[in-house]
Amino acid sequence: MNLRKHGVCVPCGEPGSWDAGMVESPVVWHDTRLRRFGMVYAGYARLRNDIRGYAAVTRPQVGLAWSDDLVHWEKDGRNPIFGPSGIPGTPDAEGTPGPFICQKDDLYYLFYFGTTAPGYEKGLKTLNVATSPDLSRWTRYAHNPVISPQGTGWRKDAIWHPHVLNVGDTYLLFFNASGIVGGVEEEHIGHASSSDLLHWTVHDEDAPLLVGSRNPGAWDSTGRTGDPSVFRLGDRWFMAYYSWDRKHAQDGLAWTSPGRFPRGWQPLPQNPILRIGPPGTFDALHAAKPFVIVRDDTYYHFYTAVSEDETREIALATAPAAQIAALPV
């Protein structure tokens, strides 16, 4: 099937602004207090005006946008709402990309991976948490980081993008980490659990939950699985994720049954579910790093769109939710 692409919905900022370099990694939630849809995303300052891409950016911070219909978005005037500590030796001294928001009681919980060196995702990468009553005043958790690289296996090098779910009386956190699986150094997805959103048990015994095919010429030939977005639709759990073939990054879907969840993930044969666009379009290089929300019988697939000149912005594609639920496995 083909998702309907709506184009860029959150562009880079104006020249000289805090997010002029790139915007990426959207996460959307329905704010129960404000009764609107919110989006957090990573924004980067631009160091060079002659090029785009990784070499031209630094200082990732967290931006916020709002929508009433999930299609049209407006950036919050307070942006950036959260950023690096600037304190050498802290886990987020130079950056706070990969944001994820959830609400509990009277607080917003912001999950993000901290970076310790200038540039695009440079230095040590660990998972951290901050809380706020109003999305403006933030308190970093005193015992950050909550998940760090460990061991010699799947998460030995770095912790990346989080996705948090409340299932019954347990919180589940899906995330990708860098390490070695089957003799290959790449990123793969695992999970952790918590009762309070602050103290996490990583289930290394189950990791990785999903590995790309590693088949030569395939869209997931590297084996990478990254940036998980987990949701339930009909009688199945789904996970959107991205992989790449060393040239293009695209998004796929995996599924599992309620009885096997949060394990037992299998990729759909229709993958990639979201493909790059034709040459010259806004997502001709990469169409990846998904976040999915299902609302009013519609499947909303937000992603990072990268053009051939490496302009990196946030885009949206949609489909009827029934079509996704009915995809053969």
Read off the pLDDT of each residue in 246-270 and give the average, rounded to a whole number.
Answer: 98
- Separation in Å, CA 271 to CA 1, 175, 293: 9, 20, 19
Long-range contacts, stretch 186-189, CB < 8 angstroms, 24+ apart: 186/222, 186/223, 186/224, 187/160, 187/224, 187/225, 187/226, 188/154, 188/223, 188/224, 188/225, 189/225, 189/226, 189/228, 189/239, 189/241
Helices (H) and strands (E) in the chain, counts: 1, 20
Q: What is the pLDDT of residue 296?
A: 93
pTM above 0.95, yes or no: yes
181 and 190 in contact (C-beta within 8 Å)? Answer: no
Taking only the tens place, the pLDDT of each residue in 279-318 is 999 999 999 999 999 999 999 999 999 999 999 999 999 9
- Separation in Å, CA 154 to CA 110, 158, 208, 224: 25, 9, 7, 11
Does 246 score more than 80 pLDDT? yes
The CA-to-CA distance between both ends of the chain, in Å, stands at 13
Q: How many domains does the chain have?
A: 1
Read off the pLDDT of each residue in 268-278 and give the average, rounded to a whole number.
Answer: 97
Confidence bin at 32 (pLDDT 50/70/90): very high
Q: What is the pLDDT of residue 329?
A: 87
Closest CA to 178 of 238, 239, 113: 113
Q: What is the pLDDT of residue 74?
A: 98
Taking only the tens place, the pLDDT of each residue in 129-166 is 999 999 999 999 999 999 999 999 999 999 999 999 99
Q: Which residue range is the domain that position 8 belongs to?
A: 4-325
Specify the CATH number for the domain of residue 85: 2.115.10.20
Under 8 Å CB-to-CB from 264, ≥6 apart: which residues? 256, 257
Across the chain, what does the average pLDDT equal?
97
Strands, sheet with 74-75, edge to edge from the N-terminal-most edge strand: 22-31, 36-46, 57-67, 74-75
Confidence bin at 2 (pLDDT 50/70/90): confident
Confidence bin at 1 (pLDDT 50/70/90): confident
Q: What is the pLDDT of residue 195?
A: 97
